[in-house]
Structure 1
Amino acid sequence: MGSKRDRDTLTILHTNDLHSHFEQMGRIAAFILAEKAQGKPVCTLDVGDHMDRMAIETEGSLGRANVDILNRSGYDAVTIGNNEGLTFTPAQLGEAYASLRCPVICGNVRLEDGSLPPWLKTSAVVESGGFRIGVLGLTAPFTDFYKLLGIDATDPFAALQERVNELRERADIVVLLSHLGLASDERIAGMTQGIDLILGGHTHHLLEEPIAIGGTTVCAAGKFGRHIGRIVVERSAETGGCVVAEAGLVLLDDAPSDDRTDRAIAMHHEEALERLRRVAAVSDRDLPIDYESESQLGNLLAQSVRQFAGGEFSLVNSGQALGPVPAGEITEGMLHALCPSPINPCVVTLRGSDILRSLEQSLLPEYTGRKLTGFGFRGERLGGLCADGLTIVYDPAGEAYARIVEVRTSERTIEADGEYRVGTLDMFTFGAGYESLSRGTDKTFILPEFLRDLLRMELGRPGAAEQAAMPRWVPSGAQSGLNAGGIEVERRRNQS
């Protein structure tokens, strides 16, 4: 039998923003199982973005592989991040979470009719070794995007104090799973009474030492499962009240892994590969990609957005494609490997000056070669801008930001003070990559289709490949220098 101290302590383990890094999940499972094997009360929580459709296992199972590993690891409650809420439909999440053996908790998302999805709770009380852990959850309210999926994402701060007060009456300790980011976590801690712990995520912050604000302890475990958070809560023998006695992180990079979990992950990988072997499209030719110059696949990406989303013309960065399209059958797995980013199309109104500036930047190696992370982007570099519906005349020998000679559609010239409806990608609206494209207004987002879905449709459109061979970027005075295929593949637009 354990000591009195053992019987009066609770260990809380927490993860966040794993983003389907399955290579770490066996280590996490081993750590959780080892903690539970000591016979002390343990509660294990995840703060969202456990799923990421860049991973073969997640894409091929639509999240069911993640749920299986959550079950095998022994989680007691989870919340959703934007990678769960915005890259899956509510129905797909319902299918994935149907086998989850713990509650999914989030207090600021509902269906459009005001009801909760059947797989979601606004709060829960988890019991472990005589401790009652009250759990709340909140997720980043990307309201416009959620609305397109039939979900109402509301202000996470509204009525939070009332929910805490209600849960406080039923629990020994109140924990908030916050997929909002560190700034919001600190704001909640400062404005809300009665939350003992805020476990954070979304901004991938790593708090090696917890932050104490009033009576609240704020913790977070970084990203990708490299760390697991470990908190010890003590209950006073005299008052029965609970306090956070210890809070820190454990680095798992060299930790042992659980063999059974690793075998399950390997099985999910093989099953996902089998599902993704289905033929999605057929290409009658090789379609090369170039990250500094115009290429057929880059043009095809831009065409796919304009065909699906509309707009006078479209602008897409070539870095969305991680490689070329070969001739022959294109499987779903090939499309996923080619365009792994959960990027959606949109249409925005942009001023001509912002369009022209972004095209000038597309001629600069510091933009085409830029490394970019976040905003849903899973590519290796930003790449240049690919266009459809535009002819861009430029001077390769001109000075930076003075190389664009003329830009025109089939009907009009792009003027600095004009306004234009442009088909593009949602990540640009967040200020990622070509920053001037974030200044658009009257934004129309389109979900749930990803860019790879649009590419699949465009590969099946008669004449699309031939259209993609027609040049859009034309050196001034060199229109006759194009080869029979339409694109002068040796040309480098960023020459100076």
Structure 2
Amino acid sequence: MSTLEILHWNDVHGRWDGLARLSARARAIRETAGHPVLLMDGGDVEEASVRLSALSHGVAGWRLLGAAGVDAAVAGNGGLLRYGPALLPRYAEALGSPPLVCDVETREGRTPDGAAPSVLLRAGDFLVGVVGITDYYHQYDVFGLRERGRVTAVRREATRLREAGADVVVVLSHAGINHDRGLSWSVRDKVDLIVGGHTHDVLTEGERDQGVPIVQAGSHGRHLGRVLLEVDEAGVRVVDMALEPVADDDPADPAVTEALSAAERDVDEWLDEPVGHLPAAAPHDPDATSAAARLVCEALLAHQPADFALLIAAHCEAGLPAGTIRRRDVWAATSSPGNPATATLTGTQVRAMLRAGLSEEYAARTPRTFRGRTLGRLQMVGISVDGDRVVVGGLPLREDGSYRVTASDLELAAYGGLLPVEPADVEHDSTMILPEVLEAYLASRVTPAGGAGSRDARREGSRAPR
């Protein structure tokens, strides 16, 4: 009989200090254990409200996972939902291995580029198969993705891994505890353990009353999960499942702190690059007319021409100075991960949208989307409101008219609170987020073609640092 240990954490959400402490403890265990040890991440190392994570589109977090020596990580919604699957190859490069996900596919039925459905790891004398699953959001449809049947996908990957010689098969999940519990009964003849994430459950001793033992380690770098397995000719037995609290004064892993410093340096150099020029400052006032938000509206209209543009003020957090604009000014003004979107609305729909967005009640809302900031006054360009009089392109709004509006995906989605349902013809550009749209607009306004700030140069030069 031989012993294998699996260490795990999940949902770090940009708590880099916690990740460094987790890594130090994991490294100490690996150095002193008399048996093979694998380290797994259960998804969502990214966090859009954390500066370094937002500026790198989540890549920095994966870079730190690589420094920590993580053997396998699952793709969570922290990156996929905000930036789409185009970032997966960069996450893979930063980690040193592809993010795992078997239950999401492209419209063509392929695993997204940069990801893998499973991996076979060597741990001492063991071969350990790891299958990744993640919770599916309907917004993934916008990125050209679709849900792949989870049970079928996991069973297929587990069978393939066993045929390839796997002694142990683990599901690494970012689907949440209820989905993990349901899955466990359908794969109990194929899988030995589910290592979970997404729902931040602190399973102190795991769960043994499901089809397969399940573990999850809370969130935000507060706990390190430890699972001991015994493997012999008769099969695999989970001997112990436990969580170790990680204290604020525990030591940090130098490898992670050094990688963090390097990532910060890369971001600072990237932020210092000039991207455009403004003849006058564009201040931001979320409760009145915001020049900064109107500038984003202009950028959206330049990117996706329409009759008018609308933007929730909370997408912006600061104004822009006069003179040379550096990338850090753009990202200080808006770090919103919103994607450009456009749709056709009737005049009646437009009026209802404006009535909602200009109400005091709407402006005072504090949804989770903006981490507790109020939505503020709805900003607009190309349309004006004076009491009941609404003017579009110099003409009064016609209730039976048809109007093309550009905005972010939030304004044109039901969860944005401005429309009861998403317009049938809504189109999203998942290749860009709002700060990139604004940067492209600023660059295109001031520099001759091919210059340092031109649109073509921006496409090559403004990619978030690794």
Q: Structure 1: how far apart are the matches of 2:211 and 2:55?
A: 44
> Closer, same or farther in 2 for the Cα pair 1:341/1:217, shift >3 Å?
farther
- Using the TM superposition, name which of 379-388 and 288-297 deviates more: 379-388
Instruction: Check whether the contact 2:81–2:139 (CA below 8 A) recurs between aligned residues.
Output: no
Q: Give the number of equivalent residue pairs.
A: 442
2:130 counterpart of 1:135: yes
Q: Deviations over 1:465-486 (max 9, x none)?
A: xxxxxxxxxxxxxxxxxxxxxx
Question: 1:441 is matched with which residue?
Answer: 424
Q: CA deviation at 1:279?
A: 0.6
Summarize the alignment of residues 35-50 of structure 1 with structure 2, pairs less than 5 Å apart: 35-39=29-33, 40-50=35-45
Instruction: Check whether the contact 2:316–2:336 (CA below 8 A) recurs between aligned residues.
Output: no
Taking structure 1 as the reference length, what is the TM-score of the superposition? 0.77
Q: Deviations over 1:299-355 (max 9, x none)?
A: 222222233223332221011111111112111122123212211011234465554
Q: Structure 2: how far apart are the matches of 1:244 and 1:441?
A: 53
> Closer, same or farther in 2 for the Cα pair 1:60/1:347, shift >3 Å?
closer
Letter matched to residue 75 of structure 1: V
Summarize the alignment of residues 200-211 of structure 1 with structure 2, pairs less than 5 Å apart: 200-207=196-203, 210-211=206-207
Q: Structure 1: how far apart are the matches of 2:105 and 2:67?
A: 28
Summarize the alignment of residues 256-335 of structure 1 with structure 2, pairs less than 5 Å apart: 256-335=251-330
User: What root-mean-square deviation, in Å, do the aligned CA atoms of Structure 1 and Structure 2 show?
Assistant: 3.5
Letter matched to residue 386 of structure 1: Q
Instruction: Check whether the contact 1:141–1:154 (CA below 8 A) recurs between aligned residues.
Output: no
Question: 1:491 is matched with which residue?
Answer: none
Q: Deviations over 1:253-292 (max 9, x none)?
A: 4433223422331232123201220011211111111111
Instruction: Check whether the contact 2:45–2:62 (CA below 8 A) recurs between aligned residues.
Output: no
Summarize the alignment of residues 49-448 of structure 1 with structure 2, pairs less than 5 Å apart: 49-52=44-47, 55-58=50-53, 65-85=60-80, 93-95=88-90, 97-98=92-93, 100-109=95-104, 119-141=114-136, 145=140, 148=143, 154-168=148-162, 170-193=165-188, 194-207=190-203, 210-212=206-208, 214-223=210-219, 225-235=220-230, 239-243=234-238, 245-248=240-243, 250-350=245-345, 355-374=350-369, 377=370, 380-394=373-387, 405-410=388-393, 411-413=395-397, 415=399, 420-428=403-411, 431-434=414-417, 436=419, 438-448=421-431
Letter matched to residue 360 of structure 1: R
Letter matched to residue 34 of structure 1: A
Please state whether the residue corresponding to 2:213 is helix, strand or coil.
strand
Q: CA deviation at 1:36?
A: 1.3
**Structure 1 unaligned regions, length at least 5:** 1-6, 395-404, 464-496
Please state whether the residue corresponding to 1:48 is helix, strand or coil.
coil
| Sequence identity percentage | 28
> Closer, same or farther in 2 for the Cα pair 1:353/1:43, shift >3 Å?
farther
Q: Structure 1: how far apart are the matches of 2:127 and 2:293?
A: 55
Rg (Cα) greater in structure: 1
Letter matched to residue 381 of structure 2: D
Please state whether the residue corresponding to 1:98 is helix, strand or coil.
helix
Q: Structure 1: how far apart are the matches of 2:73 and 2:86?
A: 18
> Closer, same or farther in 2 for the Cα pair 1:309/1:206, shift >3 Å?
farther
2:444 counterpart of 1:451: no
**Structure 2 unaligned regions, length at least 5:** 447-466
Q: CA deviation at 1:109?
A: 4.6
Question: 1:33 is matched with which residue?
Answer: 27
Q: Structure 2: how far apart are the matches of 1:449 and 1:373?
A: 22
Instruction: Check whether the contact 1:318–1:384 (CA below 8 A) recurs between aligned residues.
Output: yes
> Closer, same or farther in 2 for the Cα pair 1:75/1:336, shift >3 Å?
same
> Closer, same or farther in 2 for the Cα pair 1:221/1:452, shift >3 Å?
same
Q: CA deviation at 1:180?
A: 3.0
